[in-house]
């Protein structure tokens, strides 16, 4: 590393003119403020994520749903008063919200 010197004074320690000192002070303050803001924002983000993952599920779902014999669920969706299950054999089964009563069965064209 090469250190530039002028008349025996290290350039890193050279005096700064008054008008530049004000700019340097402002920039130091700005960097500090932005650092504090970023740290605060990160802490808020982490807090929100942790709170969201620890929250109970907002959508009540039944603990189990009785599918017809041989049916395997491929996807599940929930409507306002029904639960829809897409099966691997090309059917959509619409159940009541309690998951016990089959309301409708839709066969998909293959």
- Taking only the tens place, the pLDDT of each residue in 6-42 is 565 566 666 778 888 889 999 999 999 999 999 999 9
- The average pLDDT across 53-79 equals 84
Clarify whether residues 103 and 71 are in a common domain.
yes
Residues 36 and 63 in one domain: no
Whole-number Å distance between alpha carbons of 105 and 95: 9
C-alpha distances out from residue 63 to 53, 91, 97, 100, Å: 20, 22, 11, 11
Give the bridge partners for 107, in sequence order.
91
Enclosing domain of residue 40: 16-54
Same domain, 78 and 39: no
Same-domain check for residues 42 and 22:
yes
Are both 50 and 63 inside the same structural domain?
no
Could you tell me if 35 and 22 lie in one domain?
yes
- When divided into structural domains, the chain yields a total of 2
Q: Provide the whole-model pTM.
A: 0.49
Same domain assignment for residues 70 and 110: yes
């Amino acid at each position: 590393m090469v250190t530039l010197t002028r008349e025996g004074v290290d350039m890193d320690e050279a005096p700064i003119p008054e008008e530049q000192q004000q700019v340097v002070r402002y920039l130091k303050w700005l960097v500090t403020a932005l650092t504090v803001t970023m740290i605060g924002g990160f802490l808020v983000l982490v807090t929100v994520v942790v709170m969201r993952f620890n929250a109970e599920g907002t959508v009540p779902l039944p603990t189990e749903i009785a599918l017809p014999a041989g049916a395997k669920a491929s996807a599940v969706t929930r409507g306002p008063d029904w639960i829809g299950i897409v099966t691997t054999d090309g059917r959509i089964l619409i159940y009541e919200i309690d998951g016990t009563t089959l309301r409708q069965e839709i066969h998909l064209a293959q």
